Structure formats: C-alpha cells, structure tokens
Amino acid sequence: MFKTSILFQICAHKTRIQASWSNLIGMIHFHRVTLEYPRTKTKALYDINLEIRKGEFLFLVGHSGAGKSSLLSLLLKRLEPTAGAVYFASENLKALRGDRVAFHRRRIGVVFQDHRLLKDYTVEENLLFALKVLGVPKAEAEIRLTRSLRTVGLSHKKRSYPEELSVGEAQRVALARAMLGDPPVILADEPTGNLDPTNALTVLEALKTAHARGSTVVVATHARELVEAYPQRVVVLKAGQIVRDEPAGGKFGLN
C-alpha cells in the first residue's frame, strides 16, 4: 500500500515536471543583456530585454552591424553576455556546462545565410550525417529524413549533390537539416541573404511550415519582402538596442 502510494506520488511529480517543461520549452528571455566583444571592446548589444513565447514567429531586423547575429549567438551559448542573463525554458544559460550545452544546442535548429551543406555528400547523405550526429537510430532516421524533405518540398532531390541544386533549394535542404531533430526552436540568420525574391519566398514557406507545426521561429533578416509576405512580430535592432517591438502583423520598419 505504502509502496504504491510512493510510486503514485513519484509518477505524479514526474508528470507535473513534464507538463511544466512542455509549457516552457521554447520560451526565451533576454534580461538586461549587454554584450561586449572582449578583444575589440565592441559593444554589440546594450541592455536588451526581450521575451519570445513558445510558438511565436519573430523577425529580427536591423541594419548591418545592429547586433542580430550576436543576439542569436547568445541564444546558442556560443557567446556569454557581459552583463544580464539569457534564459531558455526558465533556465539561465550561464549555468549550463558540458553535455548540457550540447543538449541545449540540439533544442535549436540553425540555418545560416550560406547553406553549409557538405559538398561531397548528396542531400540524403547530408541529412543522414546530421541524424547520426544527433544519435537518431537508423529506422527512425529514415522516417525523419523523408518527413523533413517532404516539408521543404524536395523529396525528389535526395540523390543530388549540393552543387546540383539551385541556391534556394540548397537553402531549403539546410532548413530540412535544421528540422531533423524536431527542435522546439529554429533560428535563421539571413536565411535568404543569397537568394532572389522568388527563392526567398520558397524558403519562407518552409519556415512557415515549421511555425505551423508549433516551432518557435526567429529569423534575422534585412529582407523587407519576407516581413511583408508573412506579417508577424517584428523586433528592430539599432546599434545594439531594441528600438521597436511590434506584435504579430508588424511592419518592416527599417529606413
């Protein structure tokens, strides 16, 4: 009787923890964050306060040098703030060490301006390699690979090498790779920087699909056409400070 009760309490506790985790996961909070690059003493970000809710889609816009990539690097814990704190699912990233940093990074799918695919690997091999790094078992890997290529509309290109793809297609494969681990958060740093407007919109479609599936998506961009094509929350950075934060339906607002 006693044992059953203890077991019940442990299970209930575990369920509560899991429930609170699933509520919080994807929630990002920058609290009074300042970043100074130590060698050059460049102040890239000043006193940033920013909260991103689970399931939000946010455009981070700003001129070159405004601090967009720096902000994303803090979120990935590639950099530490000089002052203030960055929280992910209520956890101060400063406290993460060793394996927990690797675990944290697996919660975030990242896409950069250049696709960074391995050029001697086909699309399929690129994705299988990423799945191996994630430690996904083979049978599960096949399912995830098929699903993520379907999401970006490129199932027919799996035997192609990156140089046999258009830049837009290569970027969509990079996005498929970022989504393989089903991360709660996707960060895209100028994902359409090298693309013409038509290709840029196909990449945006894939990001919208990730959003519709429930991912929190943050896109750093200069591209007015992206923001206009998908009016969401817009945060404007200027010289390291947030000068505007518009809710869903926000305007591009850079001049």
- Number of residue whose CB is nearest Mg ion: 69
Tokens at 28, concatenated: 């990002």
Cβ proximity to ligand ATP, 46 vs 57, nearer residue: 46
DSSP classification of residue 78: S
* Sign of the dihedral through C-alpha 141, 144, 149, 152: negative
Only segment of 21-29, 45-53, 61-69, 124-132 that touches Mg ion (CB under 5 A): 61-69
Pairing of the two strands 216-221 and 185-189 = parallel
65 binds, among Mg ion, ligand ATP, none (CB under 5 to 8 A by kind): ligand ATP
215 binds, among ligand ATP, Mg ion, none (CB under 5 to 8 A by kind): none
Interface size with Mg ion, residues (CB under 5 A)? 2
Q: Name residues whose C-beta falls within 8 Å of residue 182's C-beta, 6 or more positions apart in sequence.
A: 144
**Residue 187 near residue 72 (C-beta atoms within 8 A):** yes
- Site membership for Mg ion, residue 192 (CB under 5 A): no
Cβ proximity to ligand ATP, 66 vs 141, nearer residue: 66
Q: Name residues whose C-beta falls within 8 Å of residue 91's C-beta, 6 or more positions apart in sequence.
A: none
Cβ proximity to ligand ATP, 42 vs 90, nearer residue: 42
Position 189: which residue type?
D
Cβ proximity to ligand ATP, 64 vs 198, nearer residue: 64
Kindly state the greatest CA–CA separation across the chain: 70
**Residue 188 near residue 111 (C-beta atoms within 8 A):** yes
Q: Minimum CB separation from Mg ion for residue 45, in Å?
A: 12
Q: How far is CA 55 from the centre of its chain?
A: 12
Only segment of 27-35, 48-56, 69-77, 235-243 that touches Mg ion (CB under 5 A): 69-77
Q: Which residues bind ligand ATP (CB under 6 A)?
A: 37, 40, 42, 44, 62, 64-70
Q: Residues 95-134: x/- map of binding to Mg ion (CB under 5 A)?
A: ----------------------------------------
Closest CA to 134 of 106, 101, 111, 108: 106
Q: How many CB atoms lie within 10 A of CB 226?
A: 23
- Site membership for Mg ion, residue 70 (CB under 5 A): no
- Site membership for Mg ion, residue 69 (CB under 5 A): yes
Closest CA to 151 of 78, 82, 203: 203
64 binds, among ligand ATP, Mg ion, none (CB under 5 to 8 A by kind): ligand ATP
Q: Minimum CB separation from ligand ATP for residue 40, in Å?
A: 4
Cβ proximity to ligand ATP, 89 vs 223, nearer residue: 223
